[in-house]
Amino acid sequence: MASVDLSDVKRRMDSAFDVLKKEFGGLRTGRASPSLLDHVMVDAYGSSMPLNQCGTVGVPEARLITVQVWDRGLVKSIDKGIREAGLGLNPQIDGQLIRIPLPALTEDRRKELSKIAHKYAEQARVAVRNVRRDGMELLKKSEKDHKITEDEHRKQSAEVQKLTDEHIKKVDETLAAKEKEIMQV
């Protein structure tokens, strides 16, 4: 008896949610977070590397990120990478330590970040719905091929829909929390 693998559907929906959390981590709010620098790439040793492979990122206080650079020769290229990442940050070099103070956000910037957060959340919802659609199509095909009964189809459809509703709710709750964090002065 073929049917939809609910654990696979759940895993795929979970991964869509994980991508959303990672995207939100990269959104700058008023508070410092090491994940803010996750997308920063650095020219090191003749290739482009993620910043976290060139130094230790820390958050000693709410509005300051530090990068302890492992190789003295990379300090300048890490500084350049942070400046060119489009985060609006101004790193300050102190030997092998780079201090990155986070300026307070303007009202316009907060609104802009909020719109970006909404866009990320919508992408996550679409991803969850796509997984649901795949599951439902598989169920229809299985019923059409007489691999499952109509009752079994209905029961599993309800399970897939329940998973979808749970994940959409999680996305909405995470968005609300992120929006509150962004708008907090």
pLDDT at 171: 94
- Other CB atoms within 10 A of residue 157 CB: 17
Q: How far apart are CA 185 and CA 180, in angstroms?
A: 10
Name the segment(s) of the chain with CATH classification 3.30.1360.40. 34-101
Residue 1 has pLDDT above 50, yes or no: no
Asked if pLDDT for residue 105 goes beyond 50, the answer is yes
In 25-178, DSSP assigns E strands to 41-44, 47-50, 55-61, 64-69, 92-94, 97-101
Q: Could you tell me the end-to-end alpha-carbon distance of the chain, in angstroms, rounded to an integer?
A: 56
What CATH class is the domain 34-101? Answer: alpha beta
Q: Convert 16-37 to b/e letters by CB count within 10 Å (16 or more is b).
A: bbeebeebbebbbbbebbbebb
Distances in Å between the Cα of 25 and the Cα atoms of 22, 28, 127, 136, 169 are 5, 8, 19, 32, 19
Put simply, whether the predicted model's pTM sits higher than 0.85 gets the answer: no
Domain limits, CATH 1.10.132.20, in the chain:
6-25+106-183
Q: Give me 26's structure tokens.
A: 């990269």
Q: pLDDT band for 162, please (50, 70, 90 cuts).
A: very high
| CATH code given to domain 6-25+106-183 | 1.10.132.20
Model pLDDT, residue 87 = 74
For 93, residues 6+ apart whose C-beta sits below 8 A from its C-beta are 75, 76, 79
pLDDT of residue 104: 76
